[in-house]
Amino acid sequence: MDRLIFLTLDGLSRGAVYAAFALALVLIWRAARVVNFAQGAMAVAAAYVAYSVTAATGSYWLGFLAALAAGLLLGAVVDRVVMRHVNHASPLNPVIVALELVLLIQAVLGMIYGSQFRPAEVPFSRSAFTVGGLTVLSPYDLFVFAAVGVVVSALAWIFARTAVGLRMRAAAFAPEVSRLLGVNVGGMLTLGWALASGVGALAAMLVIPTELGLHPHAMDLVFVSAFTAAVVGGLDSPPGAVVGGLAVGLLLSYVSGYAGSDLTPLAVLVLLLAVLLVRPGGLFSTVAARRV
Amino acid sequence: MSATRAVAPPQESPVGAAGRPGAPRRRGGTLLRHLAVAVVAGLLLVGVSYAVEPFRNFQLATVAAYLCAVAGLTVLTGLNGQLSLGHGALMATGAYTVALCQNAFYDRGLTGGWLLPVSLAAAVVATVAVGAVVGVAAARLRGPYLAGVTLAVAIVVPALAVTFDGVFNGEQGLSVPVEPPPLALGPYFPYERWQLWVAGAATLLALVLLANLVGSRYGRTFRAVRDDEVAARLAGIHVARTQVLAFVVSAATAGLGGALLAVLAQSVSPGAFSMTLSLFLLMAVVIGGLGRLAGAVWGAVLLVALPDLSHSVTELFTLSPAAAQRLEGNLPLAIFGTTLIVVMIVAPGGVQGLLSRLGRAVLARWRARRS
């Protein structure tokens, strides 16, 4: 029983990060109809910026802010310099270009930092409190929950309550009409990429210290897990991404706790296939007509 | 916004045009032509294998192994429109099958020239089985979903080698015992030349089969499904079956390519079949031109040549050993990535697309001058 509670809490903490990362994927999918396969590599690049800043200044928080800023900037640059110019007539093209970006970013990171694992700092202790003999969350887990909670609510507020959010939704939903009504559609798209990439950078900052450490490939498996989370929730639904993220986190925690951590990649693949084959639109989808 | 769509090479006739009444069908001619090209290429390869040093022979053999996998992937992605990021994993399947087969043979004390073909065939069969499973799932998925699933396959399958280390021996991998060249070729026959012959023969066989498939009725249904699924279905094509077939064919060549790589390196380990390999294969397809078998040659050559080139480039600069090591592994990737993004945006037809456009322009000018 103790173990179950521990694994549940641990899974929720892991799931919160997947939720944030999945949310970033959903943001770009909704805005540009592109699954950003370069998201993991972009987030790792931001985490390396944090590593450099922290190493130079000695302050975790300066590094943290630098990572978020780098994430926002990288998202905008990727949209403006690369994605904007890709021919979207075939859905394969943006995927291929995103994968090329993965190669490029990982190669550049490898050239600058080398490919050994670097330890990532944490701002709070990762040793868990014990309450009445039960091992529960660590301060770091609470920090993860708080950070993800703040970001998710902030995004919800931006999209539901602000004029910019309304413009972004309009630009994604009906680009032509929005353009006629004076919305800067291109700008909104760039903003969407920047926001998503910033959220991805945050997720990388939160998840990398809990895994092996900083490495150009550190987010590969996290990306697949987050993609699974986004698919579980239906690629179109931000609340679905959050729920999907928590569900994937729980599943992975149980699998690694009860069956061995070697099996977690396999569990992700099985879950992804199962969801796609049984409910391709995700668990939260409404019935959608296939476009002919 | 240079071309209307990257996946449809411009010179191809639209679906159905090939079957219009009155158009002569040249099936026998096509087979003969492909065989002739293969024989010429084979003779050329034998000549080259005597002309160049052993290390180049080994490199050419590696090109052949990659070419096998790249050609299969270009048929799947370029002609059938299914994006697979999992071909590195399929290559791993072939490689591990060959390793297990060869080890099983040698443990039983069997020797002989027939072992390697049997192991290679077993590798193809095993990969076809895996490819059929993935292909059945893939036929139900579209676009980014398919890419995501195959990406997961690419990341998960190498990890399985560590999970089941009783069979696959974890990160260490397995060694692949291979027979020396047959004595009939003489006692001093270089081993690398023999490797090139084996890999070249297997790859040429696979290419001839692929080229015939592409030119046949099946190739047309592949393209029809890629261009418009609904129209293809209305024309009486079983879309899902076609997609599974394309995936299985492409898996078979990927398995053969992986098996050849294992035979060349005489070992397999999960590190050789990482996600990066899968991305590399896709990139080789893109740089050669999606759906062009001749383009696959460019891609495969580049996969082998780039690391070599960047090694020479880094030697031009005086660098600390650590910096040189970092550069050497990653510079080709960076160049590759940048080139590809530019290719994708500027010339979606790839190298072969550029070449054939150039060729047609020259031909048109020549004809204009003659008339």
Domains of chain B: 29-273 (1.10.3470)
Q: What angle do CA B55, B60, B64 make, to 5 degrees?
A: 145
The pLDDT score that the predictor gives to residue B359 is 85
**Is the pLDDT confidence value at A98 over 80?**
yes
CB A44 within 8 Å of CB A101: no
Q: Is A134 in a helix, a strand, or coil?
A: strand
Measured distance between the N- and C-terminal CA atoms of chain B, rounded to whole angstroms: 35
Closest Cα in chain A to B157: A266
ipTM: 0.83
Please state the rounded mean pLDDT for residues A237-266: 89
Of A95, A110, A266, the CB nearest to B160: A266
Q: Which residues of chain A does B302 touch, with a Cβ-Cβ cutoff of 8 Å?
A: none
The pLDDT score that the predictor gives to residue A38 is 92
Q: Which of residues 199-218 of A touch B (CB under 8 A)?
A: 217
User: Among residues B211, B233, B231, B228, which one has the least CA distance to residue B291?
Assistant: B211
Residue A159 corresponds to which tokens in the numbers above? 């999209």
- pLDDT one-digit tens code per residue, A109-155: 988 888 788 888 788 877 777 777 777 778 888 899 999 999 999 99
In this prediction, the residues of chain B whose per-residue pLDDT falls under 50 are: 1-23
Instruction: Report the distance separating Cα B247 and Cα A245, nearest Å.
Output: 31
The pLDDT score that the predictor gives to residue A244 is 92
Residue B312 corresponds to which tokens in the numbers above? 């020479």
Strand pairing category for B174-175 and B267-268: antiparallel
The pLDDT score that the predictor gives to residue B8 is 42
Q: Which of residues 302-341 of B touch A (CB under 8 A)?
A: 322, 325-327, 329-334, 336-338, 340-341
The pLDDT score that the predictor gives to residue A93 is 83
Q: Which of residues 13-72 of B touch A (CB under 8 A)?
A: none
The pLDDT score that the predictor gives to residue A89 is 75
The pLDDT score that the predictor gives to residue B1 is 37
| Residue, of A75 and A173, whose pLDDT is higher | A75
User: Among residues B81, B148, B165, B92, which one has the least CA distance to residue B123?
Assistant: B92
CB B295 within 8 Å of CB B317: no
Residue B45 corresponds to which tokens in the numbers above? 């390869």
The pLDDT score that the predictor gives to residue B94 is 94
CB A282 within 8 Å of CB A60: no
Judge: A101–B152 Cβ closer than 8 Å, yes or no.
no
The pLDDT score that the predictor gives to residue A285 is 61
Instruction: Report the distance separating Cα A76 and Cα A177, nearest Å.
Output: 24
The domains located in chain A, with CATH, are: 2-278 (1.10.3470)
The pLDDT score that the predictor gives to residue B317 is 73
Q: Ramachandran region of residue B177, left (φ > 0), alpha (ψ -120 to 50) or beta?
A: beta
Closest Cα in chain B to A89: B5
The pLDDT score that the predictor gives to residue A243 is 92
Whether B156 and chain A come into contact, CB under 8 Å, resolves to yes
CB A47 within 8 Å of CB A122: no
The residue type of B162 is: V
Confidence of residue A25 (pLDDT cuts 50, 70, 90): very high
Q: Is B175 in a helix, a strand, or coil?
A: strand
Please state the rounded mean pLDDT for residues A153-182: 90
Chain-centroid distance of CA A207 in Å reads: 10
Q: Which residues of chain A does B322 touch, with a Cβ-Cβ cutoff of 8 Å?
A: 114
Write A69-74 long-range contacts (CB < 8 A, 24+). Answer: A70/A45, A70/A46, A70/A201, A71/A42, A71/A43, A71/A46, A71/A197, A71/A198, A71/A199, A71/A200, A71/A201, A71/A202, A72/A194, A72/A195, A72/A197, A72/A198, A72/A201, A73/A194, A74/A42, A74/A45, A74/A46, A74/A197, A74/A201
| Residue, of A90 and A36, whose pLDDT is higher | A36
Count of other CB atoms within 10 angstroms of residue A33: 14
**Is the pLDDT confidence value at A289 over 80?**
no
Of B140, B334, B338, the CB nearest to A277: B140
Q: Which residues of chain B does A37 touch, with a Cβ-Cβ cutoff of 8 Å?
A: 147, 151
The residue type of A52 is: S
Instruction: Report the distance separating Cα B290 and Cα B75, nearest Å.
Output: 8
Q: What is the pTM of this model?
A: 0.84
Q: Which residues of chain B does A273 touch, with a Cβ-Cβ cutoff of 8 Å?
A: 137, 149
